[in-house]
Structure formats: C-alpha cells, structure tokens
Structure 1
C-alpha cells in the first residue's frame, strides 16, 4: 500500500511539473480563498498545491535574499522550539504548516522574472474573483445572522473551514462570527475575516491599475470594502477609514510610505496601549479590557523565559488559572503576534518576526504600487498586534501575499542586472 501511494505521489509531482507555471499560479490563486479541507484532515488543498509548486520550482531559484533567509529561519525556529521544549506535536503542527507555506510562497516569488509577470497578475485575478464570494457571504450573513449559524453547521463549512476550528466553535470555544452583530463567512473570527477582505480590497486596486478596464476591479474593491464594514470588526472599520483617507490624499512617492506607516499605526497603537496601562480606570470597552488582561498575563509569562521562550502550549497552561477573568476557555490566545512569538520562541523568534516584517515592507516599497502594497503589509501587521493572526494573516492570504512579496523583493537585483522587473519600479 505504501509503495502504491509513493508511486502515485511521484506521478502526481511529475504531472504537476509538466503543467505551465501560469496554470500552477492560477490554481494557487483559486485555492487560497477556499482552502478546501479533505475529510477530517486539517491540511487544506491550498497548502498542498502551494508546497508542491514550490518543490517543483525550487530548482529555478537563482538567488537568495534577506527575506528568504528570514522566512527559512522562521521555519527552523518553529521546529527547534517544538523539539527543545518537548511540546506535543499537535500543539505546533499548524505553526509548522504556516511557516512552510510562507517559505514556499517566497521561494515561488523569487523564481518569477519579467517573463512571468503576466502569470503573477493572472494568479491575483483568480484569487480576487474567488475571494469575492467571501465578501458577498459576509454581507449576506450580516443581514441574516441565522443563515451564518446554519452555514457553520453545513457540509460546505466542513469543506472550507478548518475541521478542528469548526468543531471547537460549537464545543466550548465559540468565536465572534456567531455574534449576530458580526459576520465571518469562511472565517470563524470576524476580525480576521475583515483583514482578509481589506487585503483583497488593496490587491483589487493593484489589478485595477494594471488593467485596461479598471472599472470592474474598482467595483470589486468596493465590494470588499463593503464586506469589511459588514463584518462588524471595529479594527477593520478603523483600518478601512485610515487607509482610505491616506490613499486619497497621499502622493505616489516612496518618501510618503514612511509617513503612511506612522499615520496608520499611531492611532491604533494608542487605541491598544491605553487599555493595557489602565483598562479598568478608562473603561475603554470589553474588547480592549480583555486584551489588556491578556497582554498583562503574556508579559508575566514572558518574564519567566524572555530569551528562549516557553514553547508551544505554555500559554494555555499559564492562563488556565485565570481564564475566568475574561469568561473564556484557557485556549483564548494572546491576541498579539509579537507577544505570542515571544512566549513560544523567545527573543530569537521576535527578532526573526521583526526582520520578516521589515524586509516585507522594504519589498513592498520597491514597486510602482508602493503605496498600495505597503498599506497592505502595514494592515496585516497592525491586525496581528491586536488580533489572533499570523505573520501575514492566515492560510487564506499568506501564500498569495508571500509570492507577491517574494517577487517584489527581487526588484532591485533585477534592475541592476538589466532584467525586466516583475513589477515596475517607481
């Protein structure tokens, strides 16, 4: 049986390698918003397609850069932390998958040259068309909350939502998508869903600028914006307003991207820091008060092992004794990626994370779409500082955005070697 499965696997790889790269990228774009889980496995088809494509393309990798080094280091950190702290594999299998998807996507991006530029744009178009279904569902579910509960109990939800997450949704770990004032559709968390739709909005603007008929993509951007509002996420709404205002008034210059970062992050930094200092005195609200409690708990745990971290699963054990303070289960995450990374991986993990963000921003700033792509990366960073998301949101976005950033990170070296850039340099 194992021999048969191995033979079938080899045939599948060979058949996939024979397909045009453009078709492979389009498949990645189609699969990313849907994910599609096979049976009770928490391994989505989107991850399989992405990893398989990276394996078949890695031989075309001609250069490495800092971004590739850091995402590879992130994979190594996850593995070393898991082994060093003897964490149960189930506690970090999702972290391994996410890190592998990020690495695979950057590798693919680095193999894209000027000749494959249209293939990259085709992937983004396919991605946005499929993602539009999520935006439409979010709007519909916000108008009909009962329909969303029925959706999460349907066979379709079991195919497009992580089986483990879906099972926990109705078994002691409810999420805010069940709140009638919020909607998530393919996401059980409305905040994560709104960030995904915000990223789709910005990518729609990129495609509109590249298209001969920008009207249809601009209309799609409006749909994604409406989805952000309908999600009921306060963070998403604030980001939508700030980002929209900035894109309207900013000039298309590289220098403006630094001001963009400061203007976007500063209001939200105050919004989140104030409750941590004095949440009870200021009574900012339930969400911010809850985060204040979580972040203080995180700081206490970090102080126990600031350099090497405490490993995967340590947070759940640490908060088991205080989960009643916020009326949740002990598995309620810190809602801040920096703190979460520091808890599990220590100072080394934090340094890798900050490095990835820095070089991702640098890559985004290197293209003619600097304003839009930089805002996209900033949005994902800001969202991760107040919600439970990964380096670039979750599995729905990390593959596509990783490919875009990997391709963008080759801009300067391509220009120096007089090769046509994948995206024009401003």
Structure 2
C-alpha cells in the first residue's frame, strides 16, 4: 500500500468510527457552566499530565476565578504530545494560550521552527523522571529492586531471547517485548533515544549532534531499536495497552514515572536506569501573542497549579511537585515501586540540534513500525476536536514508511 493510500485509509477509518459513535451520542456534549462573558484559556499539555490536568481544570473552573477586571475565567484542556503539538502548529492549528510540554527543549524546538511566542514566560509545574516501566514479577526475577538495571541492560535482554530466558527464569515468555513512544511525536520517545546516546557515551553533560554521529552511539541505538517490538503515539496509549493486554504483549516500556505509578496499581513498577535518565520538568508557557486579559487568566491558572491545592493534587496523580515543600503521599511510595532518592544520575537537557540529530538517527535505526493508535470518538469530540484528531493521525502516518503497520482502536466514554 502506498503512503498516500495509507493516509486516506486512516482518514476514512477515523471518519467512519467517529460518525458511528457520534450518531449514538448526539446531544451528549455539555456546554453548560461556561459563563457567557468568560475569558477562555485554551491549554495544551503533554498527555502524561492529562489525568492531573483534567482534575485541576475542573477544580479551577469550579472556583469561579476572575481577572482583575472581575471577568470570569474558564479553562479548556487538551492533551497533545510535545512533538505532535509542534507539527500541529506548523500546519496552522490555532496556538493555545498556555502550553505545557515535557521539557524546555521542545519550547526551543518550536521557536526554531518559527513559533517563538512561548519562549519568555515559562514555569515548571510538576516533574517526573523518565523510567522503564516493567511488570513487577518480571522485574523481581531480574533482581529488582536490589540489583540495578540500565538502558543497555534492558536493550540487551530484549535483543537476546536466550539471555532473557536465563536471567528471568523462563517464566515470562520467550522474549522480552519492549516498547517506547514515537520519538518524532513524544517527549518520552525522544528522551529514550537521547538517554541511549548518553549511556553509550557514559556522560551526564548534554550530548551534541556530533556525539550522535559516533559509531558506538549509532551501534547502541541501532541495537536497542532492533529489539523494540512496537511504538505508541503517546505514553498514555503505551501504559494503557501494557496494562490491558498483559505481560505477553509488553514486558517493559519507556514512559514517565507518573504514567507507571498512577495507571498500574503497583503491578508495573518504575525502573530507574543505572546510567542515568532525564527529568521532565513540564514548563507551563504562556503565549505572548495572546490578548492581555487571556495572558492574565492563563497566569492565574498556572498560579493555581502551583498552589498548595494544585501541587497536592499533582502528587495524588503520581507527579513529583514543583513546590518542594509539598507533602509526598501515596502513590509516590515504596508500595508502588517509587524511590524518591532516584534517579541519582540526571542527564542535562539536550539542545535543538541534538534533538533533530537523534530523530534522524531513529529513522535509520528503527525497525518497521507496528503501532496501536487509540482514537477517542466520544460525543465530546464533535467539531474541531475530531478534526484535530484526524489531522494528527494523518500527520503521524506521513512519518511512517510503506512497510509500517498501524492498528486503530476506537473508544468512547
């Protein structure tokens, strides 16, 4: 099938799924509760933060917050992976008033592509380390938590079925099925490859584009990617598929600590790679081209996220608070596999050139893609949301090769 046919097929499938669901749910969308004169604040956040943000937005909207001019504020949230968001901006999607990517490098990447309005007013609202999520029983068979595992260890086990069976005791399948998000669309996906580069170089200073061209780096990334069985378009998709389909589908996957802890009830645990890892700092960046009253409203919402109530809610969704005096409670506890003393080694933030270089390397190193894409066809998606979903799916397919495969799964809430 040619690439153009792939794109058309995806559009047709999404359209049919959406039409079927919407026909059953006409009238479900609820526009009540938005004051007629409200200042609307459109927020785009990385999907890893979406569970927290949905609750935070609901609480903020219920608080009847106003601007200095006594105009009510109403916040609307949407989850989009950082790389996908930049792609959407380049396709002339309207820019939101507040953007919360995984880390500052995505803000710089957007600026490098001409979208400079998010660079000058950013503040971290929560953090989470990039980890390898692994089924608890499998991790224990490999020596966790007493024996540290690294990026290169897990890649080697996934690449060598005989070694995997030997060290795991042969109780968890013939091979370790490994996954990570798409590096062109997801901050966690790009972070996976950059962490491999850091590990191959045995350095914590930010790697450069020249480092990524070194043979040992390309060999390490190529070996790891050859063992990856599937990719996902977001960390949410990845952890939900892993949880619902079990260890035979995926034994391990790269995602953020909060994705693992919040979604798995302790059955999947975070492995903190011994070589080191990145920390997602989730900067909340106000669009400097938004109207003055919208910027004020966006700043007030960000202040709420950083308030005592907002930060305690973040912790309840397994995010590490940006405000360090916030009490740490469940689920950020040992029962869920969390070690707040980890990671002991933190990699420095990469620059834009390194991000471009590692994405280029992935295109040559990766196996053919076998992707599962979850599509929300609920009644609340009618209108612009379903259009955006179709556009995002088509843009994703444009990055796939002719031999790549994609499975579409529709769900409705």
Higher RCO (CA < 8 A, seq sep 6+): 2
Q: TM-score, normalised by structure 2?
A: 0.26
Higher helix proportion, which one? Answer: 1
Higher share of residues assigned strand: 2
